[in-house]
Amino acid sequence: LFQRVRGYRAGDLERRYERLGIEEDAFVNYGFVPREMLALLHPRTPRRPWDAATMRRAHEVLAFVQARGVVHPREVGEAFAHHGRISGYWGGELNASTRLLEHMHHHGWLRVRRRESGTRVYEAMTHVEQDDGPPARQARAQALVDAIVSLYAPIPSPSLGYLVTLLRYGAMHLSVETRAVVKAARERYGHAMVDGTTWFWPAAENPASRRYQPDEGVRLLAPFDPVVWDRRRFAMLWNWAYRFEAYVPAPKRTMGHYALPVLWGEQMVGWANVRRERGGLVPQLGFAAGQPKGIAFKRALDEELARFETFLMQES
């Protein structure tokens, strides 16, 4: 959002979450989605239906949440300690009720009201009953794939297919319909064949429009920015491989703990690790094919670092 919302500062989305028309939910990954997208994602058909015991516990927890209005997982854990404890995703243990809350959220029984110190705080949620006829299901599938194409365009055909498979978590109940949209992509989206690969973009967009002409600014991109996230497309466009190495042992890293791809104009020239030092930002830069020569890059980089420092400042 730093690169797309004027004046955005780190944490703004979380601080303003309750005032914005957004929800935490699963799309092709877990994150924030526009509230109107919920009608495309719900009601979900669970991949693994709950057994009778889990269904009973879910109804008990739901009644508890409805009675309280808004609940922290700690409250649910205390009230339903008899549910026991289970293994966590990353090791250790957690209350079984905490995992159940996550599943109830995914199934559409709950929504995230806010976060407290990073922990989801829930309230009860109901979704409008959907027309489940074939035309309505196809329309929802088309809208979901349209959202993918809009977010990641221009997108190569293999990447579009992969992203649609990721909908198995957010909209598994529409998997047949979304695959059909991909098969008919040439009829629905703008497209072109480049070096043997078909690329897609929204039909209403004109890639040659002046609005898409690059400027000469430098941008420090997040590792999961839509421009960067598709590593296949990244390599196709810029002919080098970016690696996110936060989980790689330090001695084996080639780019650094949290390398930010550096975009200059329309060229991805390298990466930067940025740290605070003596009240300022100090970038450690790496380049795919040598540092750009001349003053233009340095000036643009200094301007971006100044913007980045403002982005990291907390609101007063």
What does the DSSP assignment read for 9-61? Answer: -TTHHHHTGGGSSEEEEESSSEEEEEGGGHHHH-S---SS---HHHHHHHHHH
| pLDDT (average), residues 29-38 | 95
186-204 per-position pLDDT tens digit: 999 999 999 999 999 999 9
Poorest-pLDDT segment among 60-64, 139-143, 166-170:
166-170
Say if residues 274 and 222 touch (Cβ distance below 8 Å). Answer: no
Angle at 225 between CA 221 and CA 229, to 5 degrees: 115
Q: Which residue has the tokens 């000036």?
A: 299
**Crossing angle of helices 231-238 and 157-170, rounded to 10°:** 160
At 316, the pLDDT band (50, 70, 90 cuts) reads very low
Q: Which residue has the tokens 């949209």?
A: 181
Residues ≥6 apart with Cβ < 8 Å to 254: 243, 245
| pLDDT (average), residues 251-257 | 96
Taking the CB of residue 294, how many other CB atoms lie within 10 A of it? 7
pLDDT of res. 247: 94
Can you give the length of the chain in residues?
A: 316
| pLDDT (average), residues 212-239 | 95
Poorest-pLDDT segment among 41-55, 151-165, 264-278:
41-55
User: In which region does residue 107 sit, left (phi positive, over 0), alpha (psi from -120 to 50) or beta (all else)?
Assistant: alpha
102-145 per-position pLDDT tens digit: 999 999 999 999 999 999 999 999 888 889 999 999 999 999 99
What pTM does this model have? Answer: 0.91
At 23, the pLDDT band (50, 70, 90 cuts) reads very high
Mean pLDDT of the residues in the chain:
93
Interatomic CA distance for residues 175 and 311, integer angstroms: 39
Say if residues 41 and 171 touch (Cβ distance below 8 Å). Answer: yes
Looking at residue 172, its amino acid is M
pLDDT of res. 91: 67
Say if residues 128 and 39 touch (Cβ distance below 8 Å). Answer: yes
pLDDT of 277 above 80: yes
